[in-house]
Structure 1
Amino acid sequence: MSEVLERTAPVTPSGPAPAGKVDLTVGDPDQRRLYWAVMDSWTVVRRGLIHYKRQPIIIVWQLGFPILSVLLYAYVFGGAMKSPGGDYRDYLMPGMFAMTMAIGFMNTATVVVHDATQGVIDRFRSMPMAPSAVVAGRGGNDILAAVAELTILAATAVATGWRSDGGFLATLSAFALLVLLRFSLIWLGVWLGLLIPSPEAAGGLYAIVFPMTMISSIFVPPSTMPDWLGVVAAWNPLSSTAAATRELFGNPVASDGSWVQENAVLMAVVWPLVLTAIFLPLAIRRFHRLSR
């Protein structure tokens, strides 16, 4: 109750705040709302991190599929795969990074639908917190988890013999593009999580993930596919991120001369911005609709 009064209390003149503390009873009301929105979002992020700490098997499960895929394709199928140049693992690893960032939206959707069906989101709405904190906090938590996943996966790739030959800044830029892709798909996961009626139904998202990852340049160049399917694969946002990271990492790049493949770095920025512009407003609108 004291927090409610503190947030809604009228602005009144007062003396200086004690050292090391912020006086939230004075100043611009918009600034106070922004402050509480950030703090509430951080509270939701902390909740998610504590959940990971108490149930680390969740992180292990999320990383299990990508790591097994790396080992499977690198050592079991790698000898039969044709690379545009060099070792197939050098072509594969950037694609696996992109795939890991992409399929993460399933984890987001599963957590959101669980919170929605178990009454957690209803509890949040009944508390004195900023309405945007639930969506923003979920996004912040998933970005931190994605960075951890990407770090572990990169270490696994290095252990299998993969290396980045693109230099420090280029390598850093490649990982930034991967995180940007994950950021854009978070909002797809939140939106789907607020639409799906039950956690069991979230398993049906594999029907979206499977063609999205397979009809791309993650595993093989689009030029090896039938013409019409190769065009679809080339324009897949995952293909742009995979091709851009290969270029920045200095790994083999396959291009058939099409515009989208020749401008992979540009499209690796444009696609996430477009996806964010579409699904972030949809997620916020859906959350507000459930709040009525």
Structure 2
Amino acid sequence: MSTLALAHDTSAVLGRHLQRLRHAPAITVMTSTMPVVFLLFFGYVFGSALAMPGTEYRAFLVPGLLVATAANGIMNGMFAAAQDSHRGVMDRFRTLPMSRASVPLGQAFADLLTTAAGLVPLLLVGYAMGWRIEGTPAQALGAFGLLLLFRFASTCVGMFLGIVSRSEEAAGQLGGATFMLPLLSNAYIPTTNLPSWLRTVAEWNPISAVTTAVRDLFGNAPIPEGAAWPVTHPVAGSVLWCGLLIAAFLPLAVHRYGKRG
């Protein structure tokens, strides 16, 4: 199948997912408001309790929440793929003369568009709380590009897990467990004072590399010294992590979708 045909089929699936969200506005509202709730909670409740002053912690926190929101692509991708898989939608798609890759790609690109729009409220509230972009415009664009790349990679992971899940309930339970991933990173707190074994786990978490890269590009926090390689080389580490996740899970998602019957 030609690239043009793949693009046409992908855009059709993308439009279907956007229409789906249009008829389920509660999902969009929850996706946009939950990061803001976390920002207000962590920023005002925990900010004064940490060693760093409240304003500085909020500047430290906003990039972490942006990356945690991007990592939620695992959960969202899992839910959407599990629903389509277990309600027969994917089986109907398989009967159509369309590219197998267009179904996962259409879902991933639709999620990417809604995520980009959903980050706006978090950025505005963060700005009102004192967070600022201290880097150059080019660095800021690089940070936003990295966030969207990580969201795409996370969605690829979620789509594969959703397709292979045994039921929608199982996908929901596993998706809820992914809430722990940002907690095992430097998204909310520095890893410096963690026990050595836990610090190693946190620093090799892809979320830590992306968070450090976004903080550095925004000019919000310096790169920590003495950390694991992905954290001390955050941009390269983030791109490498994203490339590995996409290269591994996108083909797996396409393959498993093609085998469903």
Give the TM-score taking structure 1 as reference length: 0.84
- Which residue of the partner structure matches residue 224 of structure 1? 193
Q: Is the alpha carbon distance of 1:169 and 1:38 closer, same or farther for their aligned partners in structure 2, counting shifts above 3 Å?
A: same
- Which residue of the partner structure matches residue 50 of structure 1? 19
Q: State the structure with more CA Rg.
A: 1
Percent identity, aligned pairs only? 37
Aligned AA for 1:268? Answer: S
Do structure 1's residue 285 and structure 2's residue 255 form an aligned pair? yes
1:207 positional shift: 5.7
Q: Where in structure 2 are the equivalents of 1:212-291 lying within 5 Å? A: 212-253=181-222, 255-258=224-227, 259-291=229-261
1:72 positional shift: 0.3
Given that residues 86 and 167 in structure 2 are in contact (C-alpha distance below 8 angstroms), is that contact kept between their aligned partners in structure 1? yes
Among candidates 146, 153, 157, match of residue 115 of structure 2: 146
Aligned AA for 1:246? Answer: R
- Which residue of the partner structure matches residue 24 of structure 1? none
Distance 1:275 1:102 in 2: 12
Do structure 1's residue 205 and structure 2's residue 153 form an aligned pair? no
Distance 2:54 2:240 in 1: 27
Do structure 1's residue 173 and structure 2's residue 142 form an aligned pair? yes
Q: Is the alpha carbon distance of 1:53 and 1:61 closer, same or farther for their aligned partners in structure 2, counting shifts above 3 Å?
A: same
Q: Deviations over 1:179-220 (max 9, x none)?
A: 111111111111011011222222212464133111100111
Distance 1:83 1:252 in 2: 12
1:85 positional shift: 10
Q: Is the alpha carbon distance of 1:85 and 1:71 closer, same or farther for their aligned partners in structure 2, counting shifts above 3 Å?
A: closer
Q: Deviations over 1:149-173 (max 9, x none)?
A: 2223212211222111102111111
Aligned AA for 1:288? Answer: G
* Structure 2 spans left out of the alignment, 5+ residues: none
Aligned length: 260
| Range moving further from structure 2, 241-250 or 137-146 | 137-146
Given that residues 221 and 254 in structure 1 are in contact (C-alpha distance below 8 angstroms), is that contact kept between their aligned partners in structure 2? no
Q: Is the alpha carbon distance of 1:85 and 1:177 closer, same or farther for their aligned partners in structure 2, counting shifts above 3 Å?
A: farther
Q: Deviations over 1:238-261 (max 9, x none)?
A: 000100111111102361423332
Distance 1:85 1:154 in 2: 18
Bigger relative contact order, structure 1 or 2 (CA pairs below 8 A, ≥6 apart): 2
Q: Deviations over 1:44-63 (max 9, x none)?
A: 10111111222211111122
**SS of equivalent residue, structure 2 residue 249:** helix
- Which residue of the partner structure matches residue 116 of structure 1? 85
- Which residue of the partner structure matches residue 76 of structure 1? 45
Given that residues 60 and 220 in structure 2 are in contact (C-alpha distance below 8 angstroms), is that contact kept between their aligned partners in structure 1? yes
* Structure 1 spans left out of the alignment, 5+ residues: 1-29
Given that residues 79 and 175 in structure 2 are in contact (C-alpha distance below 8 angstroms), is that contact kept between their aligned partners in structure 1? no
Q: Is the alpha carbon distance of 1:147 and 1:207 closer, same or farther for their aligned partners in structure 2, counting shifts above 3 Å?
A: closer
**SS of equivalent residue, structure 1 residue 220:** coil
- Which residue of the partner structure matches residue 133 of structure 1? 102
Aligned AA for 1:257? Answer: G
Distance 1:281 1:132 in 2: 8
Given that residues 91 and 253 in structure 1 are in contact (C-alpha distance below 8 angstroms), is that contact kept between their aligned partners in structure 2? no
Q: Is the alpha carbon distance of 1:64 and 1:198 closer, same or farther for their aligned partners in structure 2, counting shifts above 3 Å?
A: farther
Aligned AA for 2:212? Answer: A
| Range moving further from structure 2, 150-159 or 217-226 | 150-159
| Range moving further from structure 2, 90-99 or 118-127 | 118-127
1:82 positional shift: 2.6
Among candidates 145, 154, 161, match of residue 192 of structure 1: 161
Do structure 1's residue 162 and structure 2's residue 125 form an aligned pair? no
- Which residue of the partner structure matches residue 64 of structure 2? 95
RMSD of aligned C-alpha atoms?
A: 1.8
Distance 2:225 2:55 in 1: 18
Aligned AA for 1:37? Answer: L
